[in-house]
Amino acid sequence: MALPSGSPVAMSVADPTTGTQQDVIAGATPGNVALFTEAMPATLVVGTSTGAAQANSPTMPAVAAKTNYVCGFTVTGGGATSATAVTVTLSDGTLTFNFMINIPVGVAVPMTPLVVQFKQPIPASAVNTAWTLTVPTFGSGNTAASSNIWGYVR
């Protein structure tokens, strides 16, 4: 679905209880919000992991006789005592995608968030296959790191 041009704020949200996708578009005036609803193609799946100075690996777990489709993921957090670059890996065991992120020096300095939204959901390479987002530790002194993965299974 195409969002109306000129929309200053647009965000898609999913209701896990009803399975509907809602595109929320905020207009130029406060309180002017329009909702557009379209059916989710299947069951929403969300994985999340959080922790400081540790690896985080949220997953979309394997489901018997069903295929996982990854739609996107985020990685956020703060810096560490030393600046470094780490590789975030999205994989189903056969398909693998790598993304490099920079972790800034300074435990109170936020990193630039990595937000990936695939234009078309990516199916797992086979039925009953999990997607895993592997995020290595940001380093010593890190006080916050969070990662999320989302998609659907059908």
Q: Where are the domains of the chain?
A: 9-39, 43-153
HSE at residue 47, side-chain half, CA atoms within 13 A, is 23
Contact status, residue 107 vs residue 80, Cβ threshold 8 Å: yes
Whole-angstrom distance, CA of residue 152 vs CA of residue 60: 9
Model confidence pLDDT, tens digit, residues 32-90: 344 444 556 689 999 999 999 999 999 999 999 999 999 999 999 999 999 999 999 99
Q: Which residue has the higher pLDDT, 16 or 34?
A: 16
Q: Which residue has the higher pLDDT, 6 or 59?
A: 59
Q: Which residue has the higher pLDDT, 128 or 18?
A: 128
pLDDT value of position 42: 87
Whole-angstrom distance, CA of residue 45 vs CA of residue 69: 9
H-helix segments, the chain? none
Whole-angstrom distance, CA of residue 115 vs CA of residue 74: 4
Contact status, residue 148 vs residue 70, Cβ threshold 8 Å: no
SS3 content of the chain, % helix, strand, coil (to 5): 0, 55, 45
What's 43-153's CATH class? mainly beta
Whole-angstrom distance, CA of residue 147 vs CA of residue 141: 18
pTM of the model: 0.74
